[in-house]
Structures are given as C-alpha cells and as structure tokens.
Amino acid sequence: MWRRLAKTGIACGLSWTGADDWIGSLSGSRRRPLVIGYHRVVEDGASTELALPGMVISRRMLERHLDWIGRRYRFVSLDELGELLLSGDASGQPVAAVTFDDGYSDVYHNALPVLRRKGIPAAVFVVSDLVGTHCLPLYDRLFLLLGHAFERDGNGPRVSLPSLLLRLGLPFNDPASRRALAHGPFQALGVLLDRLPQLEIQALIAALAAETGSMPRSPELRPLTWEMLLELHGAGVTIGSHTRSHALLTNERADRVAEEAAGSREALEGRLPGRVVHFAYPDGRWNARAVAAVAAAGYRFAYTVCSHQDSVAPLLTIPRRMLWEESCLDSLGHFSESVMSCQVNGVFDMVAPCERDHGPAVGAACLEPSGA
C-alpha cells in the first residue's frame, strides 16, 4: 500500500511539472517509437486466479491504455514501424505500436473486437508449436503445478521443492535460490526459469505432476487456433514469431536456439499468407548468440521487454514497454494518466532497471545475412 502511495505521489508530481517528459528525453524513451506489449486480455480483470502476475489486462483497462496512447501517438503497424526505423524518419507525430505475446486465444476473443472498433493495428507473437493445440504454455503449467506443490497440509507444503530438485539432479544450493524456492510459486518460478534449460523444466513438470497428482488444464489459457490466426491476419493484425516452444534462448544450446527461431518462422509461413519478419524474444531474454540466430533465420526486426538496445543490432533489439492490469493504477486502484505517462517515459526504470545480463555487444560478425 505504501509503495503504491509513493508511486502515485511521485508520478503526479513529475507529470504536473512535466519532469516525466524530461526524464523520457534524457533516457532516450522519447526519441524512440513507443512499442507496447501485453499478454492475455480477459473480460474481467478480477477473474485472473490462474494468471501469472503481470500477464493479464482486462478489456476495459486495455481500452483506457489505448485511448491515452491514441491522444498522444499515431498508431502504426509493425511493418510501418520497421520502415520508419529503417529510414530513420523521426519527424512528425510520435508513433506507437501495440503487440501481444504468446498467442493466447483470449487475444482473439477480447482484444480483436476493441482493436477493430478503434481501428488500431496490432501484432501477435505466437509460439508456433502451440497453435491449434489444447496445450498450456510451459511456464503456465509450471506455475500452476508449483501452486499445487506449495499448498499446505498438516506438515507444511505438499512437495518439498528443494528435495525434488535434488532427486532430479538439479540442486539449488546457494542460499538466495533456496530462499526463493521456499517463498512461493512466483518466486520459485523465477529462479527456476533463470537457471534451467527447457528439457530440465519439462522433467521438473513431469515430476511435479506425479507428486501432486495433477496436470493443469484450463480453457482460458488455451492458445490461438490456425483459423483464429487467419482471421487476425485478415483483420490487419501482424503475426510474428515467439519461437517454436517459448524456450528461453539464453538458457539453450546454439543448435536449439537456431531451431527455435528458424523452425517457428517456417511453420508460420507454411500456414499463413505472407512473410514473417518480426520476432519477440521469450521473456525478453537475448544475448549475442540469440540475436545472431534470429538474424540468420531471416527476421528483420526483433523485440525485447526492456529499454536496453544493442548499438550494433538496434533493429533486432527493439525495446518494448510491457503493461498489464495494475501497471498504471494509482493508490486507490484507479487508472492514472500520471502513472501511465511515467511508465511510457521510463521513469520507473530508474528505480527498477532491467537486471538481465545481455552480454557484450552483438558485433557485426554475428549478423549473418539471411537473404530473406
């Protein structure tokens, strides 16, 4: 509560004095096009029990965000944004692009009607192996299973996560990791995703399912179908890649990274009209190897989830601002234009900057021409 009060007070003060715009200019946010990212869009923001924190926005709140942005920016498609970035044309009204990650079907059901009514172009980055299936994204399955594991019986949590990881040959012995693993599902998920490649995540999911006697299934977390994607494409929504399986590319071997990037593009282009030239890094995790694989796979533009941009590969590390239901609320839980302005201008990045290690600069040698 006190944190939200402080956030609201700071945002109101900075917005009233215009200091938020000044900070945006100083940080570079005002000099770049605004690219906004969302994940799930639900009918009612209160019905998000199965949602990871920061992953959901209600249709009503999405409209508030879009209306605020539309009064200050001109909405463009990712293709138009790319051409502007290639030309270096920063003149005229500032532009903004809207994107959705992961390819949840609720983007079709709840976001598309809003976008159509307002005439706003958008893009959806999809996990190609999930399209048309009933499979939940890997991290959703893991989060829900961790929730079951942390349910308490008479002797504590149903599953001792450190003991289970030890049995799988995946010990987390440092004190910070052990504290996170004992703190709760969200904190445990964070440390697991930081450390484990996807094959080990899959082994952990199987073990948790056996221990808890459950395998999460939820219609509201289902991915888009190919028919939905075709309708989205026909409505002017850009379809981009979010890898084949949502593997976190900085955790994977080089051959796996290449297959995740190239395989997804091949699958999407095999089922949808047109070329797929836009890519979003899962969880915004990128380094020189990931950028090189994305370039070699033929993508022209790739998007992150932070403000860090590689000077050698700026078009393959385009910053995005990720927003969700509570990201722009004041201390009373109402939408705040002041907080929204501070979010867009990157004011809160000064307090909580990106903690990812993106490694050294990409280097021109990594950017192999694809001929695409």
State which H helix or E strand residue 74 sits in: strand 74-75
* Structure tokens, 251: 């955790």
Q: In the predicted model, is pLDDT for residue 363 greater than 70?
A: no
164: exposed, middle or buried (C-beta count within 10 Å: 0-12, 13-18, 19+)? middle
The single-letter code of the amino acid at 303 is Y
Q: Is-contact 36 27, C-beta < 8 A?
A: no
- Which residues of 119-237 form beta strands (DSSP E)? 123-126, 152-153, 156-157
* 263 touches 84 (CB < 8 A): no
Residue 102 contacts residue 39 (beta carbons within 8 Å)? yes
* Predicted pLDDT at 21: 65
pLDDT in tens, 312-331: 999 999 999 999 999 999 88
pTM, two decimals, is 0.92
In the predicted model, is pLDDT for residue 360 greater than 60?
yes
- Give residue 346's pLDDT band: very low, low, confident or very high (50, 70, 90): confident
Top-confidence range, 69-78, 348-357, 361-370: 69-78
Tokens (6 digits) for 264: 């997804």
- Opening angle at CA 85, ends 11 and 70, nearest 5: 40
Q: Say what the pLDDT of residue 15 is.
A: 64
pLDDT of the residue at 218: 78
d(CA 54, CA 354): 15
User: What is the tens place of the pLDDT at every residue in 264-300?
Assistant: 999 999 999 999 999 999 999 999 999 999 999 999 9
* Nearest CA among 48, 63, 54, 49 for reference residue 110: 63
User: Three-class SS of residue 334?
Assistant: coil
| CA angle, 163 then 210 then 137, to 5° | 100
The answer, yes or no, to whether residue 183 has pLDDT greater than 70, is yes
The whole-number average pLDDT for the span 228-252 is 96
Judge residue 91's burial from the number of C-beta atoms within 10 Å of its C-beta, 0-12 exposed, 13-18 middle, 19 or more buried.
exposed
Count of C-beta atoms within a 10 Å radius of residue 135? 17
- In sequence order, the 6+-apart residues with CB closer than 8 A to the CB of 164 are 149, 204, 207, 208, 211
Percent above pLDDT 70 for the chain? 85
3-state SS assignment for residue 125:
strand
DSSP letter for 298, please.
T
**Greatest mean pLDDT among 41-45, 258-262, 367-371:** 258-262
Ordered by where they begin, the domains of the chain are 2-107+119-135+219-366 (3.20.20.370), 138-212 (no CATH)
**Residue 13 scores a pLDDT above 90:** no
